[in-house]
Amino acid sequence: MQANNSVVIVTGSGTGIGAACAIDLAKRGCRVVINYTKSETEARATAKECEAAGAAAIVVKANVAVDADCKRLAQAALDQWGRIDGLVNNAGITKFVPNHRDLDSLTAEDFQRIYAVNVIGSFQMTRAVAPAMQKQGRGAVVNVASIAGVVGNGSSVAYAASKGALNTMTLSLARALAPEIRVNAVCPGFVETRWLQQGFGEQVYAQAKARYEESVPLKQTISPEAVSDAIVWLLLGASLTTGEFIIVDSGFHLGTAPLKAR
């Protein structure tokens, strides 16, 4: 995909990874659709940063768990620019239950709510943009999954399960939509976002961040910008890469360091 004048929809792009990605794409000459469900002020601020970078941007309120909203979001891009070149399925939710032994803290309704956004929403958005990409003969989708979906750890069992499902769906859609559309995923580790701070609370967040930095090989937590780097590469480069997961976790998935001989 050529960066200049490409049209990319980034769901959940008012804050965090989505905002970083939208701004990064704008700096590279892409026209961007900023999406939000609640964070309108932040979404408009993200759009202003995109415009300051010299790119056109529109802001669209839509809930990806609602199929009609997904179709409307895709249509907004087509109405504005007549094409869709990329989609970043970044919108996601969780219920914070860090103690995975506490099974009673999750209900069927929790699972259904989380899956509705993290898995079904990503499917619905991909389905909504696919006809335009197929008509053009090219397109790229990047799903923002999580290391939780690889190692089965994270903010809750339901969240980890949903991200595992998103990884599996990435493989299925990569097969189904080839050769016109490439579908890949990124799997971030501990990302420095307001979302995580609010979910854990300041004290627990600080403790978890310190433990992560101490334990991972690269001794760093993950910035939204670092995740955006991987997303943008999968969108604008990686022309022969599909059905792949890019892990951005400072080596968390490697586990503990190997023993050293004395």
Residue type, 164: G
Give the pLDDT of residue 59.
98
> Which of the residues in the chain have pLDDT under 70?
1-2, 256-262
Strands 57-61 and 31-36, sheet pairing? parallel
Q: Locate the domains of the chain by residue range.
A: 7-194+225-244
Given the residues 115, 159, 205, 212, the one annotated as active site? 159
Give the pLDDT of residue 262.
42
Rounded distance, CA 216 to CA 173, Å? 32
- Which residues make Cβ contacts (< 8 Å) with residue 72, sequence separation at least 6? 60, 62
Give the pLDDT of residue 256.
59
Query: Which residue spans within the chain are E strands per DSSP?
Result: 7-10, 31-36, 57-61, 86-89, 139-144, 181-188, 245-248
Give the pLDDT of residue 220.
92
Q: Is 159 a catalytic residue?
A: yes
Give the pLDDT of residue 3.
74
Q: Phi then psi for 211, rounded to 5 degrees?
A: -65, -40
CATH number, domain 7-194+225-244: 3.40.50.720
The answer to whether the CB of 20 falls within 8 A of the CB of 188 is no
